[in-house]
Amino acid sequence: MTTLTINGEPRDISAPNSSPLLWALREELGLTGTKFGCGIGQCGACTVLLDGAPVRSCQVPVGSAQGTTVTTIEGVAGAGELHPIQQAWIEEQVPQCGYCQSGQIISALALLDERAAPTDDDIDRAMSGNVCRCGAYQAIRRAIHRAVAIRSERIASDEPDQGEGDG
Amino acid sequence: MSESGALSRRSFVKVGVVAGAGLTLGVAWRLTRDPGLPTSDSTWVPNAYLRIDEDGSITVLVPRSEMGQGVSTALPQLVAEELDVPWDAVSFEFAQAHDAYGMMVTGGSTSVRESWEPLRRAGATAREMLRRAGANRWGVDVADVSTGNAAVIAPDGSTASYGALAAEAARLDVPDEVALKEPADYRLIGTSVPRLDVEAKSTGRAIFGIDAGPPDTRVAVVERSPVFGGVVRSLRADAALALPGVDEIVELESGVAVVANGYVAANAGRDALEIEWDEGDGANLDDATIADRLRSAVRNGRTVRDDGDVDAVLAGAEAPIRAEYRLPYLAHATMEPMNCTAWVRDGRCTVWTGTQFQNAPAIVGGGARQVAAAAAGVPADATEVHTTFLGGGFGRRSERDFVREAAELAGKIQGPVKVVWSREDDMRHDFYRPASYHELTAVLGEDGRPAAWDHRTASQSIMERLVPGWVPGPARNLVGKRDSTSTEGASDQPYESPNVRLTYAKVDLPIPVGFWRSVGHTHTGFVVESFIDELAHAAGEDPYEYRRALLSAHPRHVGVLDAVAEASAWGSTPPEGRGRGIAVVRSFGSYVAQVAEVSIRDGQPRVHQVWCAVDCGTVLNPAIVRAQMESGIVYGLTAALFGEINIEGGRVVQSNFHDYRMLRMNEAPRIDVVLAPSGDAPGGVGEPGTPPIAPAVANAVYALTGERIRTLPIRLGSPAGTAGSLS
Ligand code: FES
Ligand code: FES
């Protein structure tokens, strides 16, 4: 039994330690937003945050996730409000078939945690592990820049009350 | 796959009034059919629904599959325009496959083209019925009743919402004639209304085939013959059955299924199977044999087009220009690997999957529903197909192999089962874009224009497998019937010449081939647009001007050529170390011209920028058209730079994204799309962005390096030399 925190809640996973986290998320916990694309760490469709870092969950054995904190696409939105990245994804109409997009959003989340205002080169570096077979790359790039703007707008409008945004 | 036929006036049936359920209209449209297909009785069928509930919700039931191309937005947009409702009042559902729908297929970039008239008419008819209901309620003349904001407006300004009038409207007769808006009055058509599917796809809530199915669905994986056409000779399953989580091993027509409590256990079971395959003759096949077969067949093709007297010109020519082009097999590699969930119980079969082909008559082998019914051994009318979102289609999901297999398995076991394909399964058991071989010969006249153009092509036929008897027998070859999905784009290549010939040699090989985004145009677009570039250079003319001069009878080709030339400042000098190439292709009713700007890095082309001009007649949703152009370009560029499926010992060599490369963010060019609509009826947009990019890039490579690319994927002959010449 592996115990970890997923999207803020403690969860137990009974899958064998060597099982990839991806399939435990999808099949055991019903978190199907995280997608299977290649199974060999090549496409990024299965990307989740593990203790804040983007990982390919098809390559993470369940056992090694003991005690960690995991964020999947289902945990990205705040209470009653989409995350700035999701908001930007919608405003820029990024998804086509949509299958890669959970992974893209998680990778973008990790990028924005690291760089407040990434350049195009930063985006290339952070996002080139995520394949989009529909070729939505240009929209993804636009949306990441827009997410930066949305986040700073939200921080600005939150300032009087809270002094800080949730990033 | 073909152009749509004429539309009937009698597009509607009132589907029936369920007490208190509001107004539901069924919409019929004419089936797509190629002239070669026999007609069937089911040509006129209700095919999409508009539902207005009493709570005011407005739902369009979309009988087409959403695979990224935006159909779940575009079709409701047509209805909402004429219904006169705000965009945020509209939602959609996917229609379940049913006999009443007749043919349900999403392919050939036909969805908007075929819905354009009937879905607008559906909206207009519903609006008219609602107006009449309002007029009746208020006892006023219907001519004095208007609509706005999903409500009917009385002459005195009072309003009744559509929801409030829906039940009354449903009791009225369906009007025979309704007026449609003039284009100048459109509020939604021509605007980038937000897609109805993006929020679900940005939050992880969108349900794809791999996510669908009832609780307690078991998972199966299938070991299929590594060689096409192989069958199981012997099977030992004890070791697999001994593994935890593995429940059953079931032999299927397509291979051996391992049914387990999850994907990981199923795969472990599969690894433990001991199977001996009878590989059959296919095991002798490899790339070299295939290339030989295509090449030696090419001279024996049947004539598809024969203008003037090509032989006479060739016979007298001193220096004809000759070139051979070769294109490889390609896998679709949809982002979501194939999968299908099926459940057979009490003589019924239920299927959940992402399919492009739900329903079809037997003549084309049946759609998912008919195929599932046959495989599960239940009647088609006891079979339901629930369509999910598709994680990419590109033609792969118009095949029914993954449905047949899941339904067969479900018929042999208890409870629901989901067959999941690994990426390796998906890549090695695809229906590939056919490999092809082309020989071209041209003679230029004194004026530099082609005095003769001779194109001989050889490939497998896609249609022959799907529609046995489709390709005419030897006697009928004489009348020049074409295998359209093999020759489209070549048989109708638009460049002016008095003497043009195309021959097509159909080659039979055991590699499964199928529809791959833009189908025949994927190879004919490359060949025609590369060869015309060769001729331009041979004539000493600018490739844009040369094309333009030979297209005087084709104003829409010229329109997009001019638009892309302007956008790219064609004729200006590219930045140091870069070259530009141009191409124009008409496909699926739309015209697309592209200019690619490339440099050479590490001996391979790097595409920095693509300009794209598209004339898709009338633009329904500009943002979707742009996105589809970008998508088609990335798809075609991926193939041009990396795409190749090799065959060795009858097996597919490639297996996953490490050896079948995808274009990534850091390699994706900047793309500028110019919309240059002619105002004609809408053309397709899902596929037409793909064909021009490979020749545009190859032509740019030529402009930059002098090396002519005649084989895809692009591999520069002498990387060091080429790069060296630039530095
Ligand atoms: S499924 Fe994990 S990287 Fe592709
Ligand atoms: S949106 Fe289809 S793979 Fe990215």
Q: Quick one: pLDDT at residue B104?
A: 74
Question: Is residue B712 in some structural domain?
Answer: no
Task: Report how many helices (DSSP H) and strands (DSSP E) chain B contains, helices first.
Answer: 20, 30
Do residues B698 and B590 both lie within one domain?
Answer: yes
User: Pick from B145, B149, B148, B121: which is nearest to B135 by CA?
Assistant: B145
Find out whether the beta carbon of B494 lies less than 6 Å from any atom of ligand 2: no
Question: Is residue B394 in some structural domain?
Answer: yes
User: Pick from B435, B337, B460: which is nearest to B393 by CA?
Assistant: B337
Do residues B197 and B262 both lie within one domain?
Answer: no
| Cβ contacts of A28 on chain B, cutoff 8 Å | 262
Do residues B303 and B374 both lie within one domain?
Answer: no
Is residue B262 less than 8 Å (CB to CB) from chain A? yes
Residue among B335, B624, B638 whose CB has most ligand 2 atoms within 8 A, to mutate: B335
Residue B214: CB atoms within 10 Å? 12
**What pTM was computed for the model?**
0.92
Do residues B236 and B311 both lie within one domain?
Answer: no
Q: Which residues of B374-404 are buried (b: 16+ CB within 10 A; e: fewer)?
A: bbbebebeebbbbbbbbbbbbbbbbbbbbbb
Q: Kindly determine whether residue B391 and residue A95, on different chains, have CB atoms separated by under 8 Å.
A: no
Do residues B242 and B120 both lie within one domain?
Answer: no
A125: exposed, middle or buried (Cβ count in 10 Å: 0-12, 13-18, 19+): middle
d(CA B220, CA B268): 11
Higher-confidence position of B94 and B615: B615
Q: Which atom of ligand 1 is nearest to the CA of A41?
A: 3
- Does pLDDT of B20 surpass 50? no
Find out whether the beta carbon of B70 lies less than 6 Å from any atom of ligand 2: no
- Does pLDDT of B13 surpass 80? no
Question: Is residue B722 in some structural domain?
Answer: no
Do residues B473 and B613 both lie within one domain?
Answer: yes
Do residues B153 and B184 both lie within one domain?
Answer: yes
d(CA B195, CA B183): 22
Residue B474: CB atoms within 10 Å? 7
Question: Is residue B120 in some structural domain?
Answer: yes
Is residue B199 less than 8 Å (CB to CB) from chain A? yes
Q: Quick one: pLDDT at residue B98?
A: 62
Do residues B469 and B373 both lie within one domain?
Answer: no
Average pLDDT of the residues of chain B: 88
Question: Is residue B232 in some structural domain?
Answer: yes
A165: exposed, middle or buried (Cβ count in 10 Å: 0-12, 13-18, 19+): middle
| Cβ contacts of B206 on chain A, cutoff 8 Å | 98
Q: Quick one: pLDDT at residue B7?
A: 30
d(CA B647, CA B292): 13
Question: Is residue B425 in some structural domain?
Answer: no
Q: Kindly determine whether residue A131 and residue B69, on different chains, have CB atoms separated by under 8 Å.
A: no
Nearest CA-CA distance, residue A161 and chain B, Å: 28
The residues near B184 (Cβ < 8 Å, ≥ 6 apart) are none
Residue among A25, A32, A43 whose CB has most ligand 1 atoms within 8 A, to mutate: A43
- Does pLDDT of A166 surpass 60? no
Starting at the edge strand found earlier in the chain, the sheet holding B604-615 runs B579-587, B590-601, B604-615, B670-675
- Does pLDDT of B685 surpass 50? yes
Of A76, A133, A138, the CB nearest to B630: A138
Higher-confidence position of B47 and B368: B368
User: Pick from B530, B692, B522, B700: which is nearest to B606 by CA?
Assistant: B700
Q: What is the ipTM of this complex?
A: 0.95
Q: Which atom of ligand 1 is nearest to the CA of A44?
A: 3
Return the residue matching tokens 């022959």.
B464
Q: Which of B355, B388, B420 is the last residue of a domain?
A: B420
pLDDT in tens, B428-457: 999 999 999 999 999 999 999 999 999 999
Return the residue matching tokens 């899941």.
B406
CA of A36 to the centre of ligand 2 (A): 13
Q: Which of B166, B185, B201 is the last residue of a domain?
A: B201
Bond into B713 cis (ω within 30): yes
Give the pLDDT band (50/70/90) at residue B48.
Answer: low
Q: Kindly determine whether residue A135 and residue B663, on different chains, have CB atoms separated by under 8 Å.
A: yes
Average pLDDT of the residues of chain A: 94
Question: Is residue B717 in some structural domain?
Answer: no
Do residues B381 and B524 both lie within one domain?
Answer: no
Q: Kindly determine whether residue B337 and residue A77, on different chains, have CB atoms separated by under 8 Å.
A: no
Q: Kindly determine whether residue B203 and residue A86, on different chains, have CB atoms separated by under 8 Å.
A: yes
Give the domain extent around B377: 209-280+338-420
Is residue B390 less than 8 Å (CB to CB) from chain A? yes
Find out whether the beta carbon of A41 lies less than 6 Å from any atom of ligand 1: yes
Residue % of chain B over a pLDDT of 90: 75
The full set of domains in chain A, from first to last, is: 2-73 (3.10.20.30), 84-156 (1.10.150.120)
Question: Could you tell me if B381 and A89 are in contact, meaning their C-beta atoms sit under 8 angstroms apart?
Answer: no
Of B204, B208, B657, the CB nearest to A43: B657
| Cβ contacts of A90 on chain B, cutoff 8 Å | 194, 198-199, 202
Nearest CA-CA distance, residue B420 and chain A, Å: 10
Do residues B370 and B506 both lie within one domain?
Answer: no
Of B70, B335, B627, the CB nearest to A45: B335
Do residues B312 and B361 both lie within one domain?
Answer: no
- Does pLDDT of B650 surpass 80? yes
Report the CATH number that the domain containing residue B270 is assigned in CATH: 3.30.365.10
Q: Quick one: pLDDT at residue A33?
A: 98
Starting at the edge strand found earlier in the chain, the sheet holding B46-52 runs B12-14, B23-28, B46-52, B58-62, B90-94
Is residue B717 less than 8 Å (CB to CB) from chain A? no
Do residues B611 and B645 both lie within one domain?
Answer: yes
Question: Is residue B523 in some structural domain?
Answer: yes
H or E segment and range at residue B61:
strand B58-62
Domain count, chain B: 3
H or E segment and range at residue B579:
strand B579-587
Q: Which of B420, B443, B459 is the last residue of a domain?
A: B420
CA of B487 to the centre of ligand 2 (A): 30
Region of poorest pLDDT, from A28-37, A147-156, B710-719: B710-719
